[in-house]
Copies of this chain bind each other. A is one copy, B any other.
Amino acid sequence: MGGSGDHLYIALMHYPVYDRQERVTASALTTIDIHDLARLARTYGLDGFYVVTPLQSQQALARRLTDHWVRGRGATYNPTRKEALSLVRMADTLEEALEGIEQAKGRRAKTVATAARRYAQARSYKEMTEVLRQGGDAPYLILFGTGWGLTREIVEKSDYVLEPIEGKGYNHLSVRTAAAIILDRLLGGE
């Protein structure tokens, strides 16, 4: 497999994201997303996977899930799941995730937003792959939105924005499958 996932992180953002009516909201956690993204993070050799939500009840749910698989009965039942879910970290906010990475890496990560709509400043996957390669060991954090996607404000404040996955006139993938495609385009190449 191609590029190195070292120094790369992903964040699954539950706030601030849009709801159906394009109101800013905190979305509910989907446990299957945590499993799928953790397994992707492990597959592509990423350094960590932040679940970002300000809702403490949702953080407790995520902790119960990861504890079961990392330290509880799940760890012996399915050791490969333990490997994946060991990469999960919780954060109240994007800023807290960035601080966590800074503590681990000694420098602040650049953020890379993903979006289903096209932003003027969007980079192609080829360009972004090259940026990551040239970044050497600088940390990057790729942001995935739940609900109806990351708010414009978050996208516009990001250091980079990726172009949408272009379907045949259809652009409505789940965050699980979109994250899989995006990580493979950035890191799975030959």
Contacts and interface: CB of A to CB of B under 8 A. Distances in A.
Interface of A: 1, 5, 32, 35-36, 39-40, 42-45, 80-81, 83-84, 126, 165-168, 170-174, 176-181, 184-185, 188, 190
A179 B180 CA distance: 9
Interface centre among A45, A165, A170 (most CB of B within 10 A): A170
Contacts of A165: 43, 184, 188
A93 to B, nearest CB: 27
Given A40-B177, A80-B172, A181-B181, 14 more contacts: A1-B166, A1-B167, A32-B174, A36-B177, A39-B170, A43-B172, A44-B168, A45-B167, A126-B190, A173-B180, A178-B180, A181-B184, A184-B184, A184-B185
